Chains A and B, each alone.
Chain A
């Protein structure tokens, strides 16, 4: 509620400030017309394919009828094109160094046998998921709604590993580096940093996803899992964890994955907001898995609308469905709460009794009472991050 009022207020204010000549950013439903490719990537079904170097694959909407996204449909997003093509699990080691009492080089087998094994079911979502909703085009991959998925991750607590190494007194930051490399030696590597006080027991080093080894393209053999946070810091093919006192200045920390540091996290395309902040926690969102856009259904047939909803770990309280363009809303049935970081699957019985095009809308509300805004209420930001508009699917009733 508060957010909406604020949006209105800031809209009025910015109209005054920038005058009528400035182009305003607008937000619509993300693009949903792309088809899966004919070419399958390793261990994947054919997915929506944006690029081969680096591999960029999007999960089609249909996968979001289920609370767990299958490994072979799970989206893929690499930053750097040079990914090792072979990793030997017997010689692979994760290195822990920097301001630690004892440097560690831990093998996969040691991770699996010498630490407490933990599991967490959590949503992995790119901060730029649904970016294609923003006009003018915001920089980056023009994702539809499928740069997300939910999996059961198994591994060890990062905290346990760091404790084993022992942190020195002035340790403040932890840097994570994966094995992917830029094609050009001067391009900055994709290194992420985290403040030690951001670390909680849910952060794990995962080697397993939905009961299998991590798929190669999802970061085999080991990746960081940070439940509740956007995936920019879930470093894949992890090779090094370095503890430092000072923050290292890094492109992928300082420039990418940031939004305007104001309450609406918005700005005008002509005038970027000067201060930015990291995208961090995910906002409340839902996506309808079925029906998909342009599905043709019979009048008075019995449909079950299915989808998933999630937030940053507060948990989903309600998902409301509208079939009359938002005039009235009815609650969907929610699956039992598997885990507060996971997809909460919902379903809604719907008997279309009107011919022609019908919009089905889904709106999630979390336990804090935060609800998804309509797409057009979301204000533009130059990176196209954090879109969480009410999802709309248009079907045809015949």
Chain B
């Protein structure tokens, strides 16, 4: 009996908590502004990363946002249609834009 207790304790201290059970990364509810094009964001952008990852760069020009969406398609192979590239860009510029086209 004693022996069993000893080994359990040993393995707990040697292993540490993270391996005993699955680790959950918490869900952070980033506020997303509603509006035209929101559906396209939900369908095209949130499969690979959180909304927080998208908006942390602050308000940006239309060109900046367009460039980001195109980068997603070109480098990360995001399956986004040409039409949705424009719709998501418009949404981002309208809600997270700085008013400048370039």
Contact = CB atoms under 8 A, between A and B. Distances in A.
Interface of A: 37, 39-43, 49-56, 81, 83, 85-89, 136-137, 139, 141-142, 182-184, 186-188, 212-213, 215-217, 220-221, 251, 255
A40 B68 CA distance: 29
Interface string B1-34: 0000000000000011111011111111000000
A55 B25 contact: yes
Contacts of A54: 49, 53
B19 A88 contact: yes
Contact of B28 (A39, A43, A216): A39
Contacts of A51: 28, 49-50, 52-53, 56
A51 B19 CA distance: 23
A213 B58 CA distance: 36
Interface residues of B, number: 31
| Interface of B (DSSP majority class) | loop
A255 B71 CA distance: 11
B57 A184 contact: no
The majority secondary structure among interface residues of chain A is loop
B28 A49 contact: yes
A142 B71 CA distance: 18
Nearest to B78: A184
B18 A41 contact: no
Given A220-B18, A251-B75, A85 B23 contact: yes
Given A51-B52, A87-B19, A137 B57 contact: yes
Contacts of B75: 188, 251, 255
A253 to B, nearest CB: 12
A182 B15 contact: no
A53 B49 CA distance: 5
Given A54-B49, A137-B60, A213-B15, 16 more contacts: A37-B28, A40-B26, A42-B18, A52-B26, A52-B27, A53-B25, A81-B50, A83-B25, A89-B15, A139-B71, A141-B56, A184-B47, A212-B16, A213-B18, A217-B25, A251-B76
Contacts of A141: 53, 56
Given A50-B56, A220-B18, A187 B48 contact: yes
B58 A183 contact: no
A216 B76 contact: no
Nearest to A31: B58
Interface string B58-75: 101000100010010001
Given A182-B76, A188-B76, A86 B47 contact: no
B70 to A, nearest CB: 12
B48 A182 contact: yes
5 contacts: A39-B26, A39-B28, A49-B28, A51-B52, A186-B77
A42 B25 contact: yes
B79 interface: yes
Contacts of A88: 19
B71 to A, nearest CB: 8
Contacts of A213: 15-16, 18
List the 3 shortest-distance A-B pairs measured between CB atoms, nearest first.
A186-B77, A85-B22, A51-B53
A50 B58 CA distance: 12
Among B24, B64, B77, the one with the most A-chain Cβ atoms within 10 Å of its Cβ is B77
A56 B48 contact: no
Given A81-B49, A88-B19, A215-B18, A142 B28 contact: no
A184 B49 contact: no
B58 A142 contact: yes
B49 A142 contact: no
Interface in B78-92: 78-79
A186 B58 CA distance: 28
A41 B26 contact: yes
A87 B21 CA distance: 9
Contacts of B79: 184, 186
